Amino acid sequence: MRLVSDGQDIVYRCNICGSKNRLASGGFHRETALCEKCGANARFRGIIHVLGELLGTGGRACLRDWPQRPEVSGIGMSDWPGYAALLAEKFSYENSFYDRPPQLDIQNLTAAQQGKYDFVISSDVFEHVLPPLQQGFDNLFALLKPGGGLVFSVPYTRDPQTVEHFPALHQFEILAFQGQQVLVNRNAAGALEVYDNLIFHGGEGATLEMRLFCEADVLERLARAGFEEIRVHDQPQLSCGFYWPELTSPDPAAPTLYAYIISARRPHAAGRERR
């Protein structure tokens, strides 16, 4: 995103709850810059900003004030409860989970889930999805009605390639060993592999980080699935607090993260789908 001077205060109206906030630009981060009233971080505000653009509703208004449109159906994948509850009031929307009802396994859709939704939100989920990875992107497409929109985010770099942490994953378990979690994998050739230094996001098990995406790979996979109007939302929207600079690490060897929100649309015409 275009950087804002560190000495500048950003005054914004949270586009989820509508409250006014003021924060120095240096305090903005993708997962912080919390709204003082509802606790929404910069990523959550970005998700709602992009969704409003896709649906042609909301504009500069906050989600709380969006009109009710029960004819519009949507699904979230482990969405933040703060905006999920409001989306359920405005639309025929449900928040789904991998491990409990209402359940959505993006690698194994039910017939009832396919072609059902006008919008899908998948925010910071696909870094945890098991292979085959392209099947997950294809199923995002399959969830949508023709003309339906996707709001998507993952942590990603602008390096040349996505880094798969477990490239030969086949049959695996996560086990405790001497006080730490390790992943033990039997690859397709039958050889055992052991991985330590696992990265978990907010917990263990299904939140294991499987990969670090690069932006070009995400865009290519969305296009391969059949999506059009693919857009990286990398410009700040200061009025609603959707802003973060490049995400750097104290470790000089760690790549810079950009992790901006991406939108895409399933074509209206069936003949234009799936490349």
pTM of structure: 0.94
3-state secondary structure the chain: CCCCCCCCEEEEECCCCCCEEEEEHHHCCCCCCCCCCCCCCHHHHHHHHHHHHHHCCCCCCCHHHCCCEEEEEEEEECCCHHHHHHHHHHEEEEEEECCCCCECCCCCCCHHHCCCEEEEEEECCCCCCCCCHHHHHHHHHHHEEEEEEEEEECCEECCCCCEECCCCCCEEEEEEECCEEEEEEECCCCCEEEECCCCECCCCHHHECCEEEEHHHHHHHHHHHCCEEEEEECCCEHHHCECCCCECCCCCCCCCECCCEEEEECCCCHHHCCC
**Are residues 178 and 93 part of one domain?**
no
pLDDT recorded at residue 5: 80
Determine the Cα–Cα distance for residues 100 and 92; give it in Å rounded to an integer.
Answer: 20
Residue 31 lies in a domain: yes
**Are residues 171 and 66 part of one domain?**
no
**Are residues 232 and 181 part of one domain?**
no
pLDDT recorded at residue 223: 98
Q: Which of 190, 151, 124, 119 is nearest to 49 (CA)?
A: 151
Residue 1 lies in a domain: no
**Are residues 127 and 28 part of one domain?**
yes
**Are residues 53 and 121 part of one domain?**
yes
**Are residues 181 and 250 part of one domain?**
no
Residue 2 lies in a domain: no
**Are residues 137 and 35 part of one domain?**
yes
Q: What CATH number did the domain enclosing 20 receive? A: 3.40.50.150
Residue 173 lies in a domain: yes
Residue 108 lies in a domain: yes
Domain count, the chain: 2
**Are residues 194 and 129 part of one domain?**
no
pLDDT recorded at residue 4: 86
Bond prior to 102 in cis (omega within 30° of 0): yes
Residue 130 lies in a domain: yes
Predicted confidence pLDDT, tens digits, the chain (275 residues): 877 887 799 999 999 999 999 999 999 999 999 999 999 999 999 999 999 999 997 566 899 999 999 999 999 999 999 999 999 999 999 999 998 999 999 999 999 999 999 999 999 999 999 999 999 999 999 999 999 999 999 999 999 999 999 999 999 999 999 999 999 999 999 999 999 999 998 754 458 999 999 999 999 999 999 999 999 999 999 999 999 999 988 888 899 999 999 999 999 976 555 55
**Are residues 187 and 64 part of one domain?**
no
pLDDT digits (tens, 9 = 90+) for 252-268: 889 999 999 999 999 99
Residue 28 lies in a domain: yes
Residue 74 lies in a domain: yes
**Are residues 261 and 190 part of one domain?**
no
pLDDT recorded at residue 204: 46
**Are residues 83 and 47 part of one domain?**
yes
**Are residues 235 and 195 part of one domain?**
no
Print the domain residue range for 94. 9-158+211-272
